[in-house]
Amino acid sequence: MDCNCVSDLLLPPVPTLWTPGLTKSIAFPDWAYKPESSPGSRQIQLWHFILELLQKEEYHGVIAWQGDYGEFVIKDPDEVARLWGIRKCKPHMNYDKLSRALRYYYNKRILHKTKGKRFTYKFNFSKVVLVNYPLLDMANSPFLLAQNHFTNGSSTAPDCSPEALQSLFPRLPDSGRVASLFDRGATAPSPEGDKLRLDAFPFLSSGAPCYSKPPSLLGPYPRSPPFDYPWGFNPYLPGAFSLNNCPKLPPGSLYPSHFYPNPLQSSLSGLPHPFSSLLHPGGDAGDRAGTGPAGATNGTVGGPAARLGLPPYPVSMSMGRTDLLSGAGLGAREGSPPGVGGLGIGLGLAAGPPGTRPQSPSERRGGVKQDPESDSDLEITDLSDCSSDNENDHEFSKAARSRSQIILEGKKGGMLPPLSSSLPPPMSPHPLKSLVPLTPPRPSLPPSLSPSLALHERHRETETLKMIHS
DNA sequence: ATCGGAAGGC
DNA sequence: GCCTTCCGAT
């Protein structure tokens, strides 16, 4: 009766942020990567899963960001339900049940329904962000200002209560207290404590303009599988993303111009130093990735947002190897060394050769693809590993598939307008502000191209850490 | 289509 | 705790 869904077993963790060239590790606390950190369950949670789908271009025909920031549309309810059913080994999952689970999130304020719009829901980013910056004192942090930003300016205040936090990460001893951020280190300088504090605040480290790596969601995945990465790089090894340990970029890979925006971005950009400086290092962030403002600014504080696949702009990337639905558990794509996707996701490679677009499940099922079997490595349709409580289980996938309809949109990707409205000035200085050393404008040249710069960064990082610890 | 109560599984 | 399943109501 065991569910041996490979999706929950084989997928490697991925680093939170991926900074081409100037690599920087922004790892969340270990517990955040563990399936057990999901309350009451060691399995993936539905909202994780939804976010996971949302960030994959190949599923944009099924589910995609649309409308307001954080708003998404389930274009193919049956298909989403099917995928969810596969993931959870629930062959009889359907949209009715899935939507019930989504409704379950209403009370938890993780999601809410966009009334009047069919199959349209909206994430409450306060929740999502909190999950990733659990130690932030949202009540006193400028981050809070970002919250109302995502609630359409209306209605309810974000649920930033410690209780709410606990509901998501009950293991947190003292969620929501920024004080704990420092107390912990001062009193019990355990490695864990240090790690927790430092990792929780990427912007305390280097002010490097990080590019957000397409997130793996707070995952159902085990976080320490032996896994071979290309170029001899394993992002999950300690220090893998430290500045003197830059992963080599695959030949021909360039930084995509479409990294994730960050729902916090506009909020943070309105903040006083250090956030603003982190967002616009050197006062010029846009030239780095050759894009507009959204291009290079989302990484540094993009950890939480990116990790969770918050609304992409303008295009999201495939999850590659970490994409269970892409068949990670069923074997890597031929021709790709294992792990290419792992980094490729950050480089926009996993989606396929340049100029190509991964075919969405809907497209595939819809007959666009002639041979549905030929790309079975991209989609898990085999439920044989799942426990079965029904003799007709094998019909499930088929039936669901036949019900699915092709829903293609003219536009690619989940286009979302960047947040344009400005936030009110911060209510109070950020508690971390005084701890962050002023950083000079950063050169735009990625350290990967400049070893001496990398050394410089390393030194700076060290200094920063010293300051924090002192 | 959407909602939420209720019961039950894990 | 987080769904899954079922179902009546709107």
Radius of gyration of chain A (CA): 21
Interatomic separation, CA of residue A80 and C1' of nucleotide B8, rounded (Å): 24
Interatomic separation, CA of residue A441 and C1' of nucleotide C6, rounded (Å): 60
Interatomic separation, CA of residue A89 and C1' of nucleotide C4, rounded (Å): 11
Interatomic separation, CA of residue A46 and C1' of nucleotide B3, rounded (Å): 19
- Tell if A100 CB is < 7 Å from nucleic strand B: yes
Cβ-based neighbours of A115, under 8 Å, separated by 6 or more: none
Interatomic separation, CA of residue A452 and C1' of nucleotide B8, rounded (Å): 62
- Tell if A113 CB is < 7 Å from nucleic strand B: yes
Contact positions of strand B to protein Cβ (< 7 A): 1-6, 10
CA distance A339 to A344: 8
C-alpha distance from residue A3 to each of A86, A98, A148 (Å): 10, 19, 40
CA distance A438 to A277: 9
Residue A390: burial class (beta carbons within 10 Å; 0-12, 13-18, 19+): exposed
pLDDT at A43: 79
Using the CA of A119, give the nucleotide whose C1' is nearest. B1
Q: In this structure, what token pair is assigned to residue A411? A: 């536009």
pLDDT at A68: 87
- Three state DSSP letters for chain A: CCCCCHHHCCCCCCCCECCCCCCCCCCCCHHHHCHHHCCCCCCCCHHHHHHHHHCCHHHCCCEEECCCCCEEEECCHHHHHHHHHHHHCCCCCCHHHHHHHHHHHHHHCCEEECCCCCCEEEECHHHHHHHHCCCCCCCCCCHHHHHHHCCCCCCCCCCCCHHHHHHHCCCCCCCCCHHHHHHHHHHCCCHHHHHHHHHHCHHHCCCCCCCECCCCCCCCCCCCCCCCCHHHCCCCCCCCCCCCCCCCCCCCCCCCCCCCCCCCHHHHHCCCCCHHHHHCHHHCCCCCCCCCHHHHHCCCCHHHHHHCCCCCCCCCCCCHHHCHHHCHHHCCCCCCCCCHHHHHHHHCCCCCCCCCCCCCHHHHHCCCCCCCCCCHHHCCCCCCCCCCCCCCHHHHHHHHHHHCCCCCCCCCCCCCCCCCCCCCCCCCCCCCHHHCCCCCCCCCCCHHHCHHHHHHHHHHHHHHHHHHHC
Interatomic separation, CA of residue A120 and C1' of nucleotide B4, rounded (Å): 18
Closest among A62, A371, A400, A12 to A221, alpha carbons compared:
A12
- Tell if A2 CB is < 7 Å from nucleic strand B: no
- Tell if A120 CB is < 7 Å from nucleic strand B: yes
Interatomic separation, CA of residue A39 and C1' of nucleotide C1, rounded (Å): 6
Each residue's pLDDT expressed in tens, for chain A with a length of 470 residues: 445 554 444 343 333 332 322 222 222 334 333 444 444 446 799 999 999 999 999 999 999 999 988 999 999 999 999 999 999 999 999 999 999 999 999 999 999 999 999 999 999 877 666 655 555 544 443 333 333 333 333 333 333 333 333 333 333 333 333 333 223 333 333 333 322 222 322 222 222 222 222 233 333 333 333 222 222 223 233 322 222 332 222 222 222 222 233 333 333 333 323 333 333 333 333 333 333 333 333 333 333 344 455 665 433 333 333 333 333 333 333 333 333 333 222 222 333 333 334 445 544 443 333 333 333 333 444 445 555 444 444 444 444 444 433 333 333 333 333 333 322 233 333 333 333 333 333 433 333 334 444 455 555 555 555 555 54
Parallel/antiparallel/unpaired status of strands A71-74 and A63-65 = antiparallel
Closest among A312, A237, A330, A284 to A441, alpha carbons compared:
A284
CA distance A117 to A199: 39
Which residue's CA lies closest to nucleotide B4 at its C1' atom?
A103
pLDDT at A386: 59
pTM surpassing 0.85?
no
- Tell if A116 CB is < 7 Å from nucleic strand B: no
Contact positions of strand C to protein Cβ (< 7 A): 1-7
- Sign of torsion over alpha carbons A199, A202, A208, A210: positive
Interatomic separation, CA of residue A108 and C1' of nucleotide B5, rounded (Å): 17
C-beta within 7 A of nucleic chain B, residues 68-97 of A: 77, 95-96
Which residue's CA lies closest to nucleotide C1 at its C1' atom?
A40
Interatomic separation, CA of residue A143 and C1' of nucleotide C9, rounded (Å): 40
- Sign of torsion over alpha carbons A312, A313, A318, A319: negative
